[in-house]
Amino acid sequence: MSEAHASILFVGDVVGSLGRHTLLDLLPVLRERHAPTFVVVNGENAAGGLGITPKIADELFAAGVDAITLGNHAYHRKEVFAYLDAHEAILRPYNYLRSQPGHGVCVVRSSGGVRLGVVNLSGNLFLRAGRPAFTDIDVALGELEGRVDHILVDFHAEATSEKVALGWYLDGRVTAVVGTHTHVPTADARVLPEGTAYISDVGMTGPRGGVIGVRKEQSIRGFVTHMSERYETSDEDPWLMGVLVRCSQPLRADAIEQLLLPAGG
């Protein structure tokens, strides 16, 4: 097995053009401060707050992102369907139907030869994943066995209970389980007893001045009137939210650190 010393920068749900610009502006800063071995980004809200396009994915890869994970908006843009099939390092949830475009697991390699397996998984509670997350993750890990030094699981899920349960289920079997989807960072980042780094939700990269990325006036109006509202991405108070996972042994994390940076920070 190759050298297992590595660090993984994972950036939470990138929302709209403001989120993309925030990520692209701050990524050189984060590289200088932390020198991550790998950069993985959740991009399922990168195109106007819903989905991703091939052009945006190419832009992220050109900026040095090693892998892109998605979620329940993976198929919002039809033009990305063929791209998901053609490109190994962009993932939709593994537990979607096999007949749906794309795939849910990939392996990326650093210049030093460290191999990172990335698995994208969807929760079942409140989200429409095609198959059970807890059985499908075992299948995904079987695909990666013997092929990787570290494994990062992006669990795109709504229910905190489901996320915490998966963290315990995978403790000692993967390097990190990071939660996405709610756009609100949680305060429970830690390394579990058997060596798996865990956080229930990384948060989002985009406008903190809105309501989970949406213009706050529109969101409030919808709650007040109980009427359908057309949502637009907010442009207020952009932040980057992520975590840095440090590792020195195969499939084990030494530490997980939250990174919460305002644009320009």
**pLDDT at position 23, please?**
98
Active site residue 73: yes
Q: Is residue 92 very low, low, confident or very high in pLDDT (cuts 50, 70, 90)?
A: very high
| Residue among 183, 202, 195 nearest 259 (CA) | 202
pLDDT tens sequence across 93-117: 999 999 999 999 999 999 999 999 9
Q: Is residue 139 very low, low, confident or very high in pLDDT (cuts 50, 70, 90)?
A: very high
pLDDT tens sequence across 50-88: 999 999 999 999 999 999 999 999 999 999 999 999 999
Q: Is residue 265 very low, low, confident or very high in pLDDT (cuts 50, 70, 90)?
A: confident
For the domain made up of 6-208+236-262, the CATH class stated in words is alpha beta
**pTM: predicted TM-score of the whole model, two decimal places:** 0.96
**pLDDT at position 2, please?**
47
**pLDDT at position 4, please?**
85
Q: Is 102 left (phi over 0), alpha (psi -120 to 50) or beta?
A: left
Q: Is residue 128 very low, low, confident or very high in pLDDT (cuts 50, 70, 90)?
A: confident
pLDDT higher than 50, residue 1 = no
* Strand 206-207, strand 197-199: pairing: unpaired
| Residue among 5, 9, 1, 4 nearest 259 (CA) | 9
pLDDT higher than 70, residue 245 = yes
For the residues 1-7, what does the mean pLDDT come to?
A: 75
For the residues 129-158, what does the mean pLDDT come to?
A: 97
Outline where the chain has alpha helix (H). Answer: 16-34, 54-62, 81-86, 133-144, 160-170, 216-225
Q: What is the Cβ-side half-sphere exposure of residue 1, based on CA atoms within 13 angstroms?
A: 15
Q: Is residue 124 very low, low, confident or very high in pLDDT (cuts 50, 70, 90)?
A: very high
- List, in sequence order, every residue forming a beta bridge with 249; answer none if it has no partner: 252
Backbone phi and psi for residue 153, each to the nearest 5 degrees, phi listed first: -110, 120
Q: Which of 5, 21, 73, 183 is catalytic?
A: 73
Q: Where are the domains positioned within the chain? A: 6-208+236-262
